[in-house]
Amino acid sequence: MEKYILVTGGAGYIGSHTVVSLVENGYTPIILDDFRNANRVVVDGLTKILGKTPEIIESDVCDDEALRTIFQKYKFKGVIHFAAHKAVGESVLEPLKYYQNNLQGLVNVLSKMIAFNVQNFVFSSSCTVYGEPKGIKEMTEESPKNLPNSPYGWTKWIGEQIIEDTFRSNPQLKMMNLRYFNPVGAHKSLLIGEFPLGKPNNLLPYITQTAIGKLEKLTVFGNDYPTTDGTCIRDYIHVVDLAAAHVKAISFLESQTGCLETINVGTGKGSSVLEIIQAFEKETGQKLNWAFGTRREGDVTEIFANATKAKNVLGWQANLTIKDAVIDAWNWEKKLAEQNEK
Ligand code: UD1
């Protein structure tokens, strides 16, 4: 019998990599995506990697009636809920867009799960719920949640609260918040990867677009932070490893009775912005045009995962390195450039 998993936002960056990982592990993903923030090239990429086109339903997760029809059609084993807006800066300018889409979408999905008795649920949360860590920078799942500094961050923070409250009144559910650190890289096949819309906000796409000449120069936001080299520290996790964590999460939930778990998905190691630039230059042989600039408002100084729980509970750990990530991200950027030339 097919093990159908609804993957909302399954044509997006992390979603598409997770679709591949699900198929490789015997699941049948059903993608729900409205392609507002996803690129249709992903469908061709997935088709080539998987040898067949996955089922794709083009619809908005906020369309309650459409969602009901989908739940009627498939007997889902579980849901992985990626569909959400994710640009921190944009969320400050358009908060209602974020609250509407990210929270309404979540509520719609959860209410359908209850109505149709679907029990396994994985939520895309973020290390942003830790806010600016006070004291120790290595976050365990028990580290205190601090107030987020953007509406995007709030949607993850409130999303976790919605999930907790839903679980309390529906203890038969099996739910997991995966708190992602910083996803980077692309699939080795170079058939799927990230398609930043407009000018990228995130570090690695900014680096690769600068190196290829799409952008003139990378500004390193701040060199006066209290870290080893003065630049911010993050835990960069390869998207292929991150995708695998979702499959482990679904398979763990299948083995449980009612539960709610929260798990960090990171490498357990922090890297500074300068270390990422150096790794990029060393591994790709590209000279990057960059300069120090002022701090970016809202940036956290230093944060990285304690990844012990992921290992103990899910049997998951990161296998790929920063070296893999910068090489894959660069090859992906070159591939995009080649495609644009055609
Ligand atoms: C942010 C969010 C994270 C979210 C992610 C999604 C916070 C605290 N973090 O991650 O929850 O999942 O966006 O996109 O809200 N940098 C530069 N120059 C650049 C771009 C980035 O120096 O042009 C630096 C930043 O200052 C930061 C690091 O690179 O230190 C990583 O930045 P970025 O990739 O934007 O991710 P976060 O801000 O960590």
250 contacts 327 by C-beta, under 8 angstroms: no
pLDDT band of residue 341 (cuts 50, 70, 90) is confident
pLDDT at 221 over 80: yes
Region for residue 323 given its phi and psi (left: phi exceeds 0; alpha: psi -120 to 50; beta: otherwise) = alpha
Q: Over the stretch 15-47, which tens digit does the pLDDT of each residue have?
A: 999 999 999 999 999 999 999 999 999 999 999
* Catalytic center residues: 152
- Domain 4-184+238-266 fold: Rossmann fold (3.40.50)
Pocket test for ligand 1, best of 194, 203, 233 (most atoms within 8 A of CB): 203
Contacts of 272 (CB under 8 A, 6+ apart): 227, 228, 229, 231, 232, 233
Range 57-63 average pLDDT: 98
* CA–CA dist 97, 8 (Å, integer): 18
**203 Cα to the center of ligand 1, angstroms:** 6
Secondary element (H or E) of residue 29: strand 28-33
Q: What is the pLDDT of residue 197?
A: 82
* CA–CA dist 2, 77 (Å, integer): 9
**pLDDT mean across residues, the chain:** 97
Beta bridge mates, 32: 8, 57
Q: Whose CA is nearest to atom 15 of ligand 1?
A: 128
Q: Which atom of ligand 1 is nearest to the CA of 221?
A: 22
* Backbone torsions φ then ψ of 183, nearest 5 degrees: -70, 135
Q: What is the pLDDT of residue 219?
A: 98
Q: Where are the domains of the chain?
A: 4-184+238-266
Token pair of 21 as six digits? 């990982």
